[in-house]
Chains A and B, each alone.
Chain A
Amino acid sequence: DTAVSQTPKYLVTQMGNDKSIKCEQNLGHDTMYWYKQDSKKFLKIMFSYNNKELIINETVPNRFSPKSPDKAHLNLHINSLELGDSAVYFCASSDTWSSTDTQYFGPGTRLTVL
């Protein structure tokens, strides 16, 4: 039973399209995150939600809009996709919003923009 799941695993789309990536965690955690792993392999925080409220927004273009319908879900919608959005996107969750809480990651969604 997967703790943090993401769909889809792969996403190939054209520039200018709008797409969504879904994330669900069944760990009962309060906090969820989106990370982007770029071509240089760095994982960078994009957003963090705690109890459905946005607490971290790391200067991400406003084409990216996270939505948390409930504590178990954090979806990422991307408008007007650009070539530079091609990356692997990881969702994660932690028990609480604490520096010392372990973050559990999903398997990633590889987005390719053509």
Chain B
Amino acid sequence: DQQVKQNSPSLSVQEGRISILNCDYTNSMFDYFLWYKKYPAEGPTFLISISSIKDKNEDGRFTVFLNKSAKHLSLHIVPSQPGDSAVYFCAATQDYKLSFGAGTTVTVRA
């Protein structure tokens, strides 16, 4: 029973344009949301997070939006760069446990 869902397995975007990654969740008790980035043959690395009491958090080119009423999270990357090509995992916490989505593979085209 997956509580965090990333319905788009892949996304292709041109360099310099915006990448928008989406994530839906079913558990209203989640209190903290995160995005992780993963390159092949490496472990996930933390990218950005947002508390359930906020609706937006920005860090450089990365912005995360939270819509609690819709149980929806999104990550905006602007402008997209070739080094952003990776798998992006949405994750959420409840009771100190981290639940992950299946990931979205982003390919940035030159």
A binding-site residues for B, Cβ under 8 Å: 4, 40-45, 48, 55-56, 58, 90, 92, 97-100, 102-108
Contacts and interface: CB of A to CB of B under 8 A. Distances in A.
B44 A90 contact: yes
A43 B36 CA distance: 11
Given A99-B31, A99-B32, A100-B49, A43 B93 contact: no
Interface residues of B, number: 25
Interface of B: 2, 31-32, 36, 41-46, 49, 51, 87, 89, 93-103
Contact of A104 (B41, B46, B102, B103): B46
B96 A103 contact: no
A11 B2 CA distance: 28
Q: Could you tell me the dominant secondary structure of chain B's interface residues?
A: strand
A3 to B, nearest CB: 10
B102 A102 contact: no
Given A40-B102, A41-B102, A43-B89, A99 B96 contact: yes
B91 to A, nearest CB: 8
A108 B43 contact: yes
Contact of A43 (B32, B44, B49, B94): B44
